[in-house]
Structure 1
Amino acid sequence: MEQIDTEKREGRERIITRRLIKPRLNVHYPQVVGLKNGLVRRMINNSILDAVYDLIRLQGYVKDPAKTMTGGYQVKLHRNGLLSLLYDNYGYAQGAAHGMTYQSSQTFNLEDGSEYRLEDLFKPGSNYVDRLSDIIRREFKSRDIPMLTEFKAIDRNQSFYLTDQAVVIYFQLYEYTPYVYGFPTFEIPFHDIMDIIDPNRPIGRLLNAQTEPAPA
C-alpha cells in the first residue's frame, strides 16, 4: 500500500488516498489523518478498510483467478465533524460479456468514530421506511425507470450517503433495474423530510450549522 494523493480538508483532519495493489487488483481507498484522538482515527480507518475488503470479497477476487479488479471512492460530505463516503468496485472476468460494479457507503462521526445507519438520521417512531419508500416509489414512476422487479420498500438500514443538502438512497445493479441503467440513485432533499429528521443527529447537526450566524 502507498499514499498517492491528498483530498479535501476540514480543520485539522484530512482525507488521504491510499492504494491497495496486488496482481489483478488496483483499489484506491480513503484514510483519515490528523485527528487528535488516535483511537477514533484507528476505528474509522479500520472500518473503511473492512468495507473495502468486503467489496473485494463480494467480487470473488480470491476465488476467481481470471478476474481483474479496480476500485475507487468519492467524498460526498466532509464538514461539521461528519464524513460520508461512497465506494465502488469494478470486477471483470476474462471472457465475460461485461464487468460488474458494486457500491457501498459509510457515514462517520469524526469526533467519536461512530458509524451511522439510516435509522440514526430520523426521529424514533417516525416510520421513515414508509416515508422514504413512498418518495422513491414515486420517483421510479415519474422518471419512467425500466424495472426488472417491482419496488416495494427500502430496507430498514438501506445503503445511503449524505451530501450538504440531501440524504441519498441507492440500489445495486440488477437489484431493480437492468444493468445498462446503472445504479438507481435517489437524492431526497432535507427540506422534503424535515418533520422526521432528528435535530440531534447527523442531518440536524448539518442544518443547525448552516443556520448559525457567522461569527462577528
Structure 2
Amino acid sequence: MDFPVCVTNKNITHSKPNISVNYPHITNLPHSLTEKKINGDIVSLLNNLLIEQGFYNESLVEMVGTYEIKTNERNILSLSLTVYSFTGGAHGLTITKSLTFDVMTGKQYSLKDLFNPNSNYVEKLSQIISMKIEAWEVPLLEDFTTIRPDQDYYLADHTIVIYFQLYEITPYVYGFPYFPIPIKSIEDIIRTDGPLNTLLTF
C-alpha cells in the first residue's frame, strides 16, 4: 500500500468558551485494528494537549486546534497537532506535537526508533542543530547544549525536522524553532528498517 492514506477532518466546537478544534481521522486502511490504533493514538495525544492547554479551565476564553499532514506516502504518515489557548493575560500559548506512523503496522516511531542502537544520535543531531543556531543567529534563553532523547520531530519530504516548544530554548517572540536536517546527511546512523531509510531511497 504505497498510495497515501485517506485523511478526513473531525472537529470539536463550542460557543462559550469559543472552542474550534480540528483533528485528522484515518480511514480505509487494509487492517481495521491498525486503523483503530492510529486513530486512538491521535485522539490520545489531542486529549492530552487539550487538557494541558486548559480545556476544562474556567478561565478559558478561546481554544483553536489545527493539524498538518507532513508526510503521507510509502506507508509513512507523519503529522502535527497544534493547540492554541487563551485564558487571559498578555497573550495566549500554543503547543504543537507530532506523530509518525507505519500505516501498515500501526507502529508509532519515537525519535530513538529512527536510529541505530548505540549511534549517539542525540549527540550528532545536537551538533547539527548547534551549528544551525550559530549560523542563523537564533536568540537563545540560555546556551544550547543538547536535544532530549525524545525531542519533538516530524518527517517531511527527504528531511527530518527537529523542533522545540515555545520558551524551550528561545524567547516567545521567536516562535517555534524548527531545524530541518536532510536525511542524506545522517544516513550513516539511521535504521535501515525504519522510515528515514524508506524516504531516503524514494
* TM-score, structure 2 as length reference: 0.94
- Please show how residues 183-194 of structure 1 align to structure 2 within 5 Å: 183-194=176-187
Q: Distance in 2 between matches of 1:167 and 1:66?
A: 34
What whole-Å deviation, never above 9, does each CA across 1:9-32 have from its counterpart, x for those lacking one?
Answer: x73730111111134321000010
Q: Distance in 2 between matches of 1:78 and 1:151?
A: 32
Which amino acid is the alignment partner of residue 158 of structure 1? Q
Report whether the alignment pairs 1:41 with 2:47.
no
Aligned residues: 199
- Please show how residues 127-166 of structure 1 align to structure 2 within 5 Å: 127-166=120-159
Q: Distance in 2 between matches of 1:12 and 1:101?
A: 29
Report whether the alignment pairs 1:58 with 2:52.
yes
Which amino acid is the alignment partner of residue 122 of structure 1? F
> Tell me, which stretches of 5 or more residues in structure 1 are unaligned?
1-9, 211-216
What whole-Å deviation, never above 9, does each CA across 1:162-212 have from its counterpart, x for those lacking one?
Answer: 01211110000111111110000000001111111111111112223x1xx
- Tell me, what secondary structure is at the counterpart of 1:65? coil
Q: After TM superposition, where is structure 1 displaced by more than 4 Å over at least 4 residues in a row? A: none
- Tell me, what secondary structure is at the counterpart of 1:177? coil
Identity fraction in percent: 38
Q: Distance in 2 between matches of 1:163 and 1:79?
A: 10
Query: Which of 6, 29, 38 in structure 2 is aligned with 1:14?
Result: 6
Report whether the alignment pairs 1:176 with 2:174.
no
How far the C-alpha of 1:62 sits from its partner, in A, is 0.5
> Tell me, which stretches of 5 or more residues in structure 2 are unaligned?
none
Report whether the alignment pairs 1:68 with 2:62.
yes
Report whether the alignment pairs 1:82 with 2:76.
yes
2:69, 2:78 within 8 Å by CA — same for their partners in 1? yes
Q: Distance in 1 between matches of 2:66 and 2:164?
A: 18
What whole-Å deviation, never above 9, does each CA across 1:127-185 have from its counterpart, x for those lacking one?
Answer: 00000000111111111111112211111111110012111100001111111100000
Q: Distance in 2 between matches of 1:153 and 1:49?
A: 30
- Tell me, what secondary structure is at the counterpart of 2:97? strand
How far the C-alpha of 1:111 sits from its partner, in A, is 0.3
Corresponding residue for residue 113 of structure 2: 120
Corresponding residue for residue 6 of structure 1: none
How far the C-alpha of 1:63 sits from its partner, in A, is 2.3
Q: Distance in 1 between matches of 2:122 and 2:67?
A: 27
Q: Distance in 1 between matches of 2:71 and 2:48?
A: 22
What whole-Å deviation, never above 9, does each CA across 1:64-105 have from its counterpart, x for those lacking one?
Answer: 3333100101000000000000111111123x2111111100
